[in-house]
């Protein structure tokens, strides 16, 4: 699922070429009706999800007096509200089965509100709180909820264009997330967090992780 249908088409093609099955669904994660319709489409064609990963994010760097109400609200909706809408769609079937995994991607801003990062921090703080509340409510029912803090920028072409002066060792290496999943059966666009997220999915219920931090060794925290 994503707002960009072009990106989805490419990823779906890579999955299908490797022998997998995929469904592309465009959705506005901030709109309850759009989210509901998207998951109805998934359930009708692929069945109820057993794993849900929320990777959406919105970033607006600006001071409190510079942010417009619309910018602040949009950032909160993408970073937090959309996850709330989505988990409401996947939880009923997970509870009925007595198992399921929900993985929510956070950021440094989930634990630290910095100057000019209020729009991001409020949403990411909220996402972290949502993960904690979900885990305490649904872990006893067999649902594993984890919040992953990505403390740093991932070394992708887009990021390098944004921070061209950054040295390579200060960025998160995509291959570090997926060293054992580098076969061509895993689409390149999905490799970034594959290893870490896969390990969280495989964890035994006797030793579930609620929160995990990932950062370069040189990152200050």
- Calculate mean pLDDT across residues 32-45: 97
> Residue 46: its pLDDT value, please?
94
Q: What is the pTM of this model?
A: 0.84
CA quadruple 48, 96, 90, 188: dihedral sign: negative
| pLDDT for residue 11 | 85
Give me the pLDDT at residue 180, please. Answer: 37
Share of the chain above pLDDT 90, in %: 67
122: Cβ–Cβ under 8 A, 6 or more apart, which residues? Answer: 72, 75, 76, 79, 80, 113
Q: What's the mean pLDDT in 105-112? A: 94
pLDDT-based confidence at residue 98 (cuts at 50, 70, 90): very high
What does the alpha-carbon distance between residue 183 and residue 185 come to, in Å, rounded to a whole number?
5
Q: Residues 135-148: what's their mean pLDDT?
A: 98
**Tokens representing 80?**
């937090």
């Amino acid at each position: 699922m994503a707002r960009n249908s072009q990106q989805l088409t490419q990823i779906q093609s890579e999955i299908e070429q490797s022998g997998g099955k995929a469904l592309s669904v465009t959705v506005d994660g901030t709109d309850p009706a759009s989210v509901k319709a998207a998951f109805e489409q998934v359930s009708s064609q692929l069945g109820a999800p057993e794993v849900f990963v929320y990777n959406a994010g919105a970033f607006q760097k600006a001071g409190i007096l510079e942010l417009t109400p619309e910018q602040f609200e949009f950032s909160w909706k993408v970073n937090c509200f959309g996850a709330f809408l989505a988990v409401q769609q996947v939880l009923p079937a997970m509870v009925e089965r007595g198992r399921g995994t929900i993985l929510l991607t956070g950021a440094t801003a989930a634990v630290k509100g910095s100057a000019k990062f209020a729009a991001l921090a409020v949403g990411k703080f909220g996402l972290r709180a949502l993960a904690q509340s979900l885990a305490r409510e649904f872990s006893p029912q067999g649902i594993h909820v984890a919040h992953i803090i990505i403390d740093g920028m991932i070394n992708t072409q887009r990021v390098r264009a944004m921070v061209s002066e950054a040295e390579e060792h200060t960025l998160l290496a995509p291959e570090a997330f997926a060293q054992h999943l580098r076969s061509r059966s895993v689409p390149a666009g999905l490799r970034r967090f594959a290893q870490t997220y896969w390990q969280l999915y495989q964890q035994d219920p006797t030793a579930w992780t609620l929160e995990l931090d990932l950062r370069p060794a040189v990152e200050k925290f």
